[in-house]
Amino acid sequence: MNRSLVPVVVALGLVFAGAAGAIAQNFYTVDRGDGILLRGTKIACSVQPSRQGKSMVCFKVTSRAQPQAGTYGVGISSHGATVVRYGNKTYKTVFQKKHGAS
């Protein structure tokens, strides 16, 4: 793993966590296959199946609501977090941390 990505991952996590706690006034229940678009941005989040159950994945989208090639996505589940880099119809995991793992 590229060590220079670690601060970026940590910063993204803190931004999302801080923003959620400071701003969230309404919570919505979503399930596998559901997705949301963040108004005023090109950021989408979707609930996807994972080996451990379900995960929420957020990423920058194209005009067709697909992950934009060359950008990163962040996934989180009750078992850990993952950062991926999207290519054309593919993705590669660049960082993964499971809860309880060192």
Give the pLDDT of the chain (102 residues) as one tens digit per residue: 455 555 545 555 545 554 555 566 788 888 988 999 999 999 999 998 877 788 899 999 999 888 999 999 999 998 899 999 999 989 999 999 988 655
Judge whether 20 and 88 are in contact, CB under 8 Å: no
| Alpha carbons 16 and 81: distance in angstroms, whole number | 13
- Estimate to the nearest angstrom the gap between the alpha carbon of 74 and the chain centroid: 3
Residue 24: exposure state from Cβ atoms within 10 A (0-12, 13-18, ≥19): exposed
User: What residue ranges do the domains of the chain occupy?
Assistant: 30-98
pTM: 0.69
Is the dihedral angle over the CA atoms 55, 61, 67, 73 positive or is it negative?
negative
Identify the helix (H) or strand (E) that includes residue 13.
Answer: helix 5-23
